[in-house]
Copies of this chain bind each other. A is one copy, B any other.
Amino acid sequence: MHEVSSGGGLLRIGKAAERAEVSPRTLRWYEEIGLLTPANHSAGGARRYTEEDMGRIAHIRELQSLLGFDLGEIRDILRGEDDLAGLRHEYRSGTDQGRRREILLEATAINDRLREMVAGKQACLEIMMSELTEKSIRYASRLRELD
């Protein structure tokens, strides 16, 4: 029961950490603070990570390094997405239209919040980039003047 056997494609913590370029300790830490509970455990209690888990790790890393969220904020974001997954299930099992609309609207709201954050970062980076480019142009023209 419960796919425990000889790890059908599942990764043990060592390989999972290696592939995600983090330490095993980091994965245990994510679990401890409720960020990532590996879907599977061996009979003896060893963690087994699915491909979905690996995607989640990548997602966490992205939110952390690209957007600068701390792990608490990331937990909240993922909770939102997890709730959505639950709702998605409810959605599929064909509830009434009103409920479906509700679910979709909430999903859209969560998505929009993230998009705004990304857009904000992008705007800042564009300003920064244009300043750097301006400098670069000045340097280049100075160099041309030297001939």
Contact = CB atoms under 8 A, between A and B. Distances in A.
30 contacts: A62-B128, A66-B121, A66-B124, A66-B125, A66-B128, A68-B68, A97-B146, A101-B143, A104-B143, A104-B146, A105-B143, A107-B139, A108-B139, A108-B140, A108-B143, A111-B132, A111-B135, A112-B136, A115-B129, A115-B133, A115-B136, A118-B125, A118-B129, A118-B132, A121-B121, A121-B125, A122-B125, A122-B126, A122-B129, A125-B125
Contacts of A85: none
Nearest to A64: B68
What is the interface of chain A mostly: helix, strand, loop, or mixed? Answer: helix
A106 to B, nearest CB: 10
A68 B64 CA distance: 10
A104 B65 contact: no
Contacts of A139: 104, 107-108, 111
A131 to B, nearest CB: 10
